[in-house]
């Protein structure tokens, strides 16, 4: 709400309709930190095996491509490139309105992992030729979060006895799984459509199992000890030019 208000008053100030911009007196609101509660691979397997088959491929892509729900709802077959192995995110569907992604980073090409490729190849049999859209509900319209959440998502979680979590957790799960699998944070940022590493370190870092590893000990073993604990030498193991400079110094120094 503040974004359009700021733009309106900024334009009014520049146009000379007001002497001061009252929006300058308002500090930016601090967004609430996302509630991250990812699924384990065992839970993902159980969900995929027990969900309504009509939505199975949708959930596979949700878990292993890191896309937003609106991006998946608006995904069209022309933006699935099996030859290059990428999903081109070019539109998003929010509250029934289709529009370009909200940020430049959100407009991206997502590298398809093998389970995503397999799911989309299977999905072709169901919707290719019927619609421009990849994922359709039972009425052959683009999927929306309300009905899918009620008729498929909540049911499968209850069926297999998993504590309810919002559909958005599929995206959070993607981030934590990739990082825990030693994917570089920069790659994860690009896949998810963020513009910086800040989101990764603020929201996901504490959920990475490797966060608990003794990275400092790895430094000691691989970098520090091999150099600092070598047998003492008369001349340090420096580059050739530095050795030459040291040997040529006056004895008085």
Q: What number is the average pLDDT over the span 180-199? A: 87
Q: Is the pLDDT of residue 94 over 80?
A: yes
Q: Over 80: is that where the pLDDT of 245 sits?
A: no
Please answer whether residues 65 and 53 qualify as being in contact, where contact means their C-beta atoms are separated by less than 8 angstroms. no
Lowest mean pLDDT among 47-61, 183-197, 220-234: 220-234
Lowest average pLDDT, out of 24-33, 61-70, 149-158, 171-180, goes to: 24-33
Say which residue the tokens 């498929």 belong to.
152
- pLDDT value at 178 more than 60: yes
In which band, very low, low, confident or very high, does the pLDDT at 183 lie, cut at 50, 70 and 90?
confident
Q: What confidence score (pLDDT) does residue 148 get?
A: 94
Superfamily of 41-208 according to CATH: Intergrase catalytic core (1.10.443.10)
What is the pLDDT confidence band of residue 124, given thresholds at 50, 70 and 90?
Answer: very high
Answer yes or no: are the C-beta atoms of 89 and 108 closer than 8 Å.
yes
Share of the chain above pLDDT 70, in %: 82
| Predicted local confidence at residue 101, as pLDDT | 87
- In degrees and rounded to multiples of 5, residue 94 shows phi and psi of -130, 120
Residues 6+ apart with CB under 8 A from 238: 246
The answer to which of 90-94, 195-199, 226-230 has the lowest mean pLDDT is: 226-230
Phi, psi for residue 210 in degrees, rounded to 5 = -65, -15
Instruction: Please provide the average confidence, as pLDDT, over all residues in the chain.
Output: 86
Q: Is 87 or 235 the better-scoring residue by pLDDT?
A: 87
Taking CB atoms within 8 Å and a gap of at least 24, the contacts of 31-34 are: 33/202, 33/203, 34/172, 34/203
One DSSP character per residue, 169-222 reads HHHHHHHHHHHHTT--HHHHHHHHT-SSSHHIIIIIGGG-GGGGS-HHHHHIII
Q: Which residues share a beta bridge with 227?
A: none
State which of 150-154, 205-209, 215-219, 238-242 shows the largest mean pLDDT: 150-154
Note the pLDDT of residue 237: 55
Given a cut of 50, is residue 252 above it in pLDDT? no
Cα–Cα distance for residue pair 169/203, rounded to 1 Å? 12
Tell me the pLDDT band of 57, cut-offs 50, 70 and 90. very high
Query: Does 244 score more than 90 pLDDT?
Result: no
Q: Where are the strands (E) in the chain, listed by range?
A: 80-81, 86-89, 92-94, 97-99, 108-111
pLDDT of residue 218: 65
CB half-sphere exposure, 144, CA atoms < 13 A: 10
The answer to whether 169 and 38 have CB atoms below 8 angstroms apart is: yes
């Amino acid at each position: 709400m503040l974004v359009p208000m700021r733009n309106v008053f900024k334009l009014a100030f520049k146009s000379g309709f007001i002497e001061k911009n009252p929006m300058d007196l308002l500090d930016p609101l601090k967004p609430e930190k996302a509630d991250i509660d990812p699924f384990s691979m065992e839970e993902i397997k159980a969900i995929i095996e027990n969900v309504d088959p009509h939505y199975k491929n949708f959930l596979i892509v949700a878990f292993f491509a890191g896309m937003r729900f609106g991006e998946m709802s608006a995904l069209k077959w022309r933006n699935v490139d099996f030859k290059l192995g990428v999903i081109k995110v070019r539109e998003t569907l929010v509250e029934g309105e289709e529009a370009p992604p909200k940020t430049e980073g959100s407009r991206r090409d997502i590298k398809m992992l093998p389970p995503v490729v397999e799911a989309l190849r299977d999905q072709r049999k169901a919707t290719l030729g019927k619609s421009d859209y990849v994922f359709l509900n039972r009425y052959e319209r683009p999927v929306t979060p309300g009905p899918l959440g009620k008729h498929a998502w909540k049911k499968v979680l209850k069926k297999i006895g998993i504590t309810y979590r919002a559909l958005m957790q599929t995206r959070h799960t993607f981030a934590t799984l990739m990082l825990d699998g030693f994917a570089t944070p920069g790659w994860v940022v690009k896949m998810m459509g963020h513009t910086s590493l800040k989101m990764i370190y603020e929201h996901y870092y504490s959920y990475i199992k490797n966060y608990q590893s003794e990275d400092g000990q790895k430094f000691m073993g691989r970098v520090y000890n091999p150099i600092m604990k070598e047998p003492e030498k008369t001349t340090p193991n420096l580059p050739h030019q530095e050795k030459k400079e040291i040997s040529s110094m006056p004895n008085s120094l």
